[in-house]
């Protein structure tokens, strides 16, 4: 059988925290603590501001990339139209619609 010894070893401890005295120049230490807290606050604000600027820059880059893709598609379309317009057969057909025809071989005289 297992014997219970839990009541034999019960010793209550009391823990008291002794205040540690601050030695040295108290005003200087308080000033240093205030400066450190202010610096930490400034660092947090600066990191948030940088994060917002980075996010705005990324958004602007995405908008510029979308505009660039749109302009590339439009440029390809215009190059295709230019190629079709500069084709010799399409020039002859367009001139024929306006009533213009190429001169015959004997009609052109050089001075």
Q: Which residue has the higher pLDDT, 9 or 25?
A: 25
Helix residue spans in the chain (DSSP H): 26-86, 88-97
pLDDT in tens, 22-70: 677 888 888 999 999 999 999 999 999 999 999 999 999 999 999 999 9
Q: For residue 106, give the DSSP letter.
A: T
pTM: 0.49
Q: Residue 99 is encoded by which pair of tokens?
A: 């009533």
């Amino acid at each position: 059988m297992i014997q219970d010894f839990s009541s034999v070893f019960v010793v209550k401890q009391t823990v008291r925290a002794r205040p540690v005295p601050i030695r040295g120049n108290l005003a200087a230490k308080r000033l240093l603590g205030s400066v450190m807290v202010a610096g930490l606050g400034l660092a947090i604000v600066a990191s948030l501001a940088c994060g917002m600027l980075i996010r705005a820059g990324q958004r602007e880059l995405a908008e510029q990339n979308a505009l660039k893709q749109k302009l590339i598609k439009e440029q390809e379309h215009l190059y295709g139209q230019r190629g079709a317009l500069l084709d010799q057969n399409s020039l002859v057909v367009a001139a024929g619609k306006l009533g213009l025809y190429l001169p015959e071989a004997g009609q052109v005289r050089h001075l």
